[in-house]
């Protein structure tokens, strides 16, 4: 079987045409997520088009590019597809991705590592509520893990809290203020939020003694 490969091109955004009967929808919130991803990682997935510049895959990225004011976007032109194949591919590209799942334990571990590295989890597509559900799952995973030699245990812990919006704003303000006092000793922890919370706790405990 001959593998058909498209031609890589860089085209003006306003030259592309969305597929008129695309049943896939994109909310404004999702477009903002795509924009955040592009800004963080770059335009890593070209838009797939046919020879008439009709979009076969990447309508969300196209909408994000428009909102960002981009003049051009990377594309792959697929000239080997029949009209029936194009129609089917528009559906298949969206539907097949939905059939994948998550290993939630590994996902929780990866998210925790990113959080410890002070990486902005807001750019990876999960809402705050979803992250709240995923990160506490790490504690359950840790509780079910067999005892390991001390040298194999992680020296870090993930802690989550439920806060009212008013409380959350107060905590954010306190963390920001703690970060400004003086540089942190990062020999134990490079996560600036964790270091700031520890500093606040130390100041509170010292003030109570």
Residue 79: count other Cβ atoms within 10 Å of its Cβ: 11
Structural domains of the chain sorted by starting position, each given as residue range(s) with its CATH number in brackets? 7-98 (3.90.1530.10), 102-147+155-160 (no CATH), 162-209 (no CATH)
Of 92, 18, 29, give the one whose Cα is nearest residue 58.
Answer: 18
User: How far is the C-alpha of 11 from the C-alpha of 61, rounded, in Å?
Assistant: 14
pTM: 0.63
The CA angle 184-132-96, to the nearest 5 degrees, is 120
Confidence of residue 153 (pLDDT cuts 50, 70, 90): low
Query: Which residues, in sequence order, are bridge partners of residue 11?
Result: 73
Handedness of CA 67, 68, 70, 75 (dihedral sign): negative
Residue 82: count other Cβ atoms within 10 Å of its Cβ: 8
CB-based burial, 22-45: b 16+ in 10 Å, e otherwise: beeebeeeebebbbbbbeeeebeb
- Residue 115 pLDDT: 82
Span 185-201, pLDDT tens digits: 877 887 788 888 888 89
More confident call, 150 vs 84? 84
Of 72, 50, 42, give the one whose Cα is nearest residue 6.
Answer: 50
Span 23-67, pLDDT tens digits: 999 999 999 999 999 999 999 999 999 999 999 999 999 999 999
Report the pLDDT averaged over residues 86-91: 96
């Amino acid at each position: 079987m001959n593998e058909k490969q498209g031609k890589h091109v860089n085209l003006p955004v306003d030259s592309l045409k969305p597929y008129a009967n695309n049943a896939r929808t994109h909310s404004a919130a999702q477009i903002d997520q795509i924009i955040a991803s592009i800004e963080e990682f770059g335009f890593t997935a070209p838009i797939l088009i046919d020879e008439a510049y009709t979009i076969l895959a990447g309508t969300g990225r196209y909408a994000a590019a428009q909102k960002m004011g981009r003049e051009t976007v990377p594309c792959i032109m697929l000239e080997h597809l029949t009209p029936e194949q194009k129609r089917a591919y528009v559906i298949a590209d969206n539907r097949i991705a939905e059939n994948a799942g998550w290993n939630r334990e590994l996902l929780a571990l990866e998210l925790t590592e990113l959080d410890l590295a002070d990486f902005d989890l807001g750019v990876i597509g999960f809402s705050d509520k979803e992250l709240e559900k995923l990160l506490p799952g790490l504690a359950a995973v840790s509780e079910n893990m067999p005892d390991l030699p001390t040298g194999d245990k992680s020296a870090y812990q993930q802690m989550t809290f439920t806060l009212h919006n008013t409380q959350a704003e107060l905590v954010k303000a306190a963390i920001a203020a703690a970060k400004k006092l003086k540089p942190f000793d990062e020999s134990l922890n490079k996560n600036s939020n964790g270091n700031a919370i520890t500093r606040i706790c130390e100041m509170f405990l010292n003030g109570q003694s």
